[in-house]
Amino acid sequence: MVDYGNLNKRDAVQQGVLKLWTLCITYLEGSHANTSTTNSFGNSTDTLDSWLGLRSLVLESSSYLRVNRAAFTTWTNAWKALDALGIGNSLRAAHPRIRGLVSYAAEAGVQTAEVEYVDKSIGVEHEVRCLRRKLLAETLSNELPSGTIRFSSQLVSIEELGRFKLLHLADGTTIKTKVLIGCDGVNSEVAKWLGFKKAAFDTRCAIRGYAVYEEGHGFGDKFVNFFGEGFRSGVVPCDDNSVYWFFSWSSATQVKELEENPLKIKEFVLSKLSKLPDNIKDVFRRTKVDDLVCSQLRYRAPWEILCADISKDNVCVSGDACHPMTPDLGQGACSALEDGVVLAKCLAEAFARSSTGEKYSEEEGYERIKMSLSKYAKERRWRAFDLVSTAYVVGHLQFTTEKVISFLRNKFLAPHLVTMLMKKATYDCGMFQAST
């Protein structure tokens, strides 16, 4: 991490910009809100504002900080990003490490594999934890300067105005922005403006839930995974008293009925997992209706990520707005955290003053912004392509109903799939470094 006391003013401000932008982006992805980040003009006395002549603003469509009690698996690459923000250790303290995975064949209720999260090629244990979205969103929002998040701000259209963008909100407000970053999820208005097509619907659906055990759950430090004919389920401890779980299946015909009647969700899941041990079934039974989410899975076609504009002029997209993916690698939220750090570092270069301390002209500043976003897009394009395409293939391999492939999957493939997950988690977005 950077010791601000050993940096001159220019370096310290650059580090502040890096952290501010990343916190904005990761707040959005962590909360899964329908939001955008802008860099708009204002009269703030904050050090960054007075030094750079701009301020960052997060547009949140909801009237409050929207977080549920769901969670997501954070791999080594995500923790490197959180460490770059300086919040990794505080989040680690609340989330014990997950040491490995245990797989079961759901139809028979028997264990088929057990794998430790250790990369044997280099002899290093991966850092895997199940991170509560609520705690992440609150931690990030508390790190942001007061007034950074503007609630009840639904983006409805984008208009070009020379080197700037005009953002038209649902309440009639218009915001003039120097940089626009779309972190507004799978139905991104910013991605639409950039020319992306709507994210595709997968043939599979997913139910996610969160169960609380006041007396402690006793599941230990393992990710428990279940494979069945046309479905997959998993139970992951978040801490000693809470468990995150998911259930996904390969038919979209029931999702609307389940969305409209959450009480049927638990019945549906339990009917598929009737042969599992009682302590596993109890996770689903004790989950409150308000802590259940049911939806059809969506993803961005990999070739579109290669061909479409991730950035254009002073606009770009990040996280699910750019590369929504199926959850089969557990890298959706992790890669969004990577996006935040990489994009923040690129933007800091654009907003840094010249070596003489002078501000760049408006034209020079605009070109530097364009180049920084183009650099970000170039660095993230192939990483996103790799994750989206691999997740799709792995997902459909795990959900096959072909008996021979199912047998091979249950008997032999589980350890190899975990090895693949670990390889995708070795990406290092880097730490923030002082400029020279």
306: Cβ contacts below 8 Å, ≥ 6 apart:
381, 385
Contacting residues for 212 by C-beta, under 8 A, at least 6 apart:
241, 242, 286
User: What percent of the chain is predicted at pLDDT more than 70?
Assistant: 81
pLDDT, residue 211, reads 94
pLDDT-based confidence at residue 10 (cuts at 50, 70, 90): very low
CB 273 within 8 A of CB 281: yes
Give the closest residue to 40 by CA, choosing from 147, 151, 164.
Answer: 164
pLDDT value at 65 more than 60? yes
DSSP letter for each residue of 51-76: HHS-EEEEEESSSS----S-EEEE-H
pLDDT beyond 60 at 419: yes
Packed helices 263-272 and 278-286: angle between N→C axes, nearest 10 degrees: 170
Query: For the whole model, what pTM was predicted?
Result: 0.88
Quote the tokens at residue 317: 């997209």
Q: How confident is the model at residue 17 (pLDDT cuts 50, 70, 90)?
A: low
Give residue-wise pLDDT tens across range 185-241. 899 999 999 999 999 999 899 999 999 999 999 889 999 988 877 888 999 999 999
Q: Is residue 162 classed as helix, strand or coil in its secondary structure?
A: coil
Long-range contacts of 197-200 (CB under 8 A, 24+ apart): 197/301, 197/304, 199/298, 199/299, 199/300, 199/324, 200/298, 200/299, 200/300, 200/301
What's the pLDDT tens digit per position in 292-337?
Answer: 988 899 999 999 999 999 999 999 999 999 999 999 999 999 999 9
Partners of 368 in beta bridges: none
Render pLDDT for 372-414 as a digit per residue (tens, 0 to 9): 999 999 999 999 999 999 999 888 777 766 777 667 666 666 6
Mean pLDDT of 268-273: 88
